[in-house]
């Protein structure tokens, strides 16, 4: 039996209390930047998944960024047709 291979990103599974490895931190920063761009675009008005998936906005995983943003913001989706969805920003979530 051979030993398990190391993770594809060194430091991906850092022990608790250790700083996050630089490649992982860079990936987290990149995802946060994409989420900020998606949020900024939605704050200007409704947008479709096609509009949000441009490289200038959120890239191909823009819908994943929307799912992350929904934890803090009220973002609703509406089916337009086929695989086309429209997303609407309705403000920050209130936790009353």
Backbone angles phi, psi at 25, to 5 degrees: -60, -40
Domain count across the chain: 1
Neighbours of 73 (CB within 10 A): 16
Which of 81, 90, 79, 87 lies closest to 47 in space, CA to CA? Answer: 87
Q: Which domain holds residue 86?
A: 23-90
What's residue 3's pLDDT? 57
**Has residue 55 been placed in a domain?**
yes
**Has residue 5 been placed in a domain?**
no
What's residue 8's pLDDT? 47
**Has residue 16 been placed in a domain?**
no
**Has residue 76 been placed in a domain?**
yes
Q: What string of pLDDT tens digits covers the 96 residues of the chain?
A: 665 554 444 455 555 666 555 655 565 566 688 888 898 999 999 999 999 998 888 888 888 889 888 888 899 999 999 999 999 999 888 764
Q: Answer for the pair 86, 45: CB distance below 8 angstroms, yes or no.
A: no
**Has residue 47 been placed in a domain?**
yes
**Has residue 7 been placed in a domain?**
no
Distance of CA 71 to the CA centre of its chain: 11
What's residue 71's pLDDT? 84
**Has residue 42 been placed in a domain?**
yes
What's residue 6's pLDDT? 47
Residue 58: which CATH number? 1.10.10.10
Q: Answer for the pair 88, 75: CB distance below 8 angstroms, yes or no.
A: yes
Task: Judge if pTM exceeds 0.85.
Answer: no
**Has residue 15 been placed in a domain?**
no
């Amino acid at each position: 039996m051979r030993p398990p291979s190391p993770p594809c990103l060194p430091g991906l599974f850092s022990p608790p209390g250790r700083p996050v490895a630089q490649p992982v931190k860079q990936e987290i920063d990149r995802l946060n930047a994409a989420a900020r761009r998606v949020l900024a675009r939605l704050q200007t008005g409704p947008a479709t998944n096609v509009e949000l998936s441009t490289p200038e906005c959120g890239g191909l995983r823009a819908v994943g960024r929307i799912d992350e943003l929904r934890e803090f913001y009220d973002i609703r989706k509406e089916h337009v047709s086929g695989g086309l969805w429209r997303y609407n920003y309705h403000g920050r979530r209130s936790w009353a």
